[in-house]
Amino acid sequence: MHPRDLSDHSPYVPGRGVEEVARDRGLDPDDLIKLSSNENPHGPSPAAVEAIREHADRVHQYPKSSHTDLTAKLAEKWDVAPEQVWVSPGADGSIDYLSRATLSPGDEVLVPSPGFAYYAMSARYHHGEVAEYELDPADGFAQDAETVLSAYGGERIVYVTSPHNPTGSTMSLAAIETVADATAPETLVVVDEAYGEFAETDSAIPLVDERDDVAVLRTFSKAYGLAGLRIGYSVVPEEWGEAYARVNTPFA
C-alpha cells in the first residue's frame, strides 16, 4: 500500500532553528537572531505569559471546540456576530477550514506569486487546483485589482495578502472590493491580514458585513508573539456561520 500521488505537493520548509544553525556553524546560539520565520523578537505580553502559567494545570483537558470565550471577545472587537468568527490552529487552520467549506474536487484557487505557500498546499490537500497571479518586482510588488483580475479565470477562492509577505505591499479596501465585485458570485475573496497590525491600511473585516463573498484571516502569531500556541481565526460572512461546526477539526 502506498499514499496517493503527492508529486504536485511541495513540502513547506520552515526557517531553521537557532540551535541547529549555531551547531552547524560552531557559534554560540546567544549570538544569533532568528529572522527566517518572522517570529516576534519581543516575545509575548507578560500578561499572556502569566495567563498561560495560571492555566498550565489544565492542559490535560481538551479545549472547547467552539472557543466561545475567545470568539465572543473577537466578535466584540470587530463588531461582528460570534458565529462569524472561526477560531483555528493558526491562520493555516482557517485556510484549511475555508478550503473544506468551499472547494469541490477540481476547483481552482488563485494565489499571489510570490506568496504564502500554504494557500496552494491547502487547495491541493483538498483536491483542488492552483493558478497564480504575478506581483511584479519592477513595480515594487504593487497589489491592485487589475493585477488580480487579469489572471482570474473563475476560481472558487482568490487570495489577497495585505500586507503582503515578504514584500510588505498592501491592497486598498477599494481595490479588494473591486476584485470582489468583478469575480463570480461563487468566488470567495480571502484577505490574509496575518501582518495587519503592522500596516496603516484599514482591515477588510468591515467588508465582510456588507458582502457574502469576502473572508478575512487574522492570527495571534505575529504582532502578539504567540506563534507557539497556534491561535488564528477567520471572519466570515454571516451566511457562513453554521458551516464552522461542519469543517472544524475536533478540539483544535
pLDDT of residue 137: 93
Q: What's the distance, Cα to Cα, between the start and end of the chain in Å?
A: 29
pLDDT of residue 58: 92
In a domain, 25, yes or no: no
In a domain, 129, yes or no: yes
In a domain, 171, yes or no: yes
Low-confidence ranges of the chain (pLDDT < 50): none
pLDDT of residue 218: 98
The count of structural domains within the chain is 1
In a domain, 3, yes or no: no
In a domain, 88, yes or no: yes
Supply 53's cell numbers.
Answer: 502559567
Is-contact 91 116, C-beta < 8 A?
no
Q: What is the domain range of residue 199?
A: 62-247
Per DSSP, the chain holds a count of helices (H) and strands (E) of 9, 7
Residue from 153, 169, 218 nearest 192 by CA: 218
In a domain, 87, yes or no: yes
Residue 121 CA to residue 11 CA, distance in Å, equals 8
Tens of pLDDT, residue by residue over 14-62, are: 778 889 989 999 999 888 888 888 889 899 999 999 999 999 999 999 8
Residue from 80, 105, 97 nearest 245 by CA: 97
Is-contact 239 82, C-beta < 8 A?
no
Residue 73 CA to residue 24 CA, distance in Å, equals 44
Is-contact 118 128, C-beta < 8 A?
no
Q: CB pairs under 8 A, 24+ apart, for 10-19?
A: 10/117, 10/121, 12/117, 12/118, 12/121
Supply 20's cell numbers.
Answer: 541547529
Cell 458565529, residue? 83
Is-contact 187 155, C-beta < 8 A?
yes
Q: Which residues of 123-157 are buried (b: 16+ CB within 10 A; e: fewer)?
A: bbbbebbbbebebeeeeebebbbebbbebbeebbb
Residue 118 CA to residue 210 CA, distance in Å, equals 28
Is-contact 237 215, C-beta < 8 A?
yes
In a domain, 52, yes or no: no
What SS3 class is residue 205? Answer: helix
Angle, helix 117-125 to helix 90-102, in steps of 10 degrees: 40
Domain CATH for 230: 3.40.640.10
In a domain, 242, yes or no: yes
Residue from 88, 125, 126, 128 nearest 217 by CA: 88
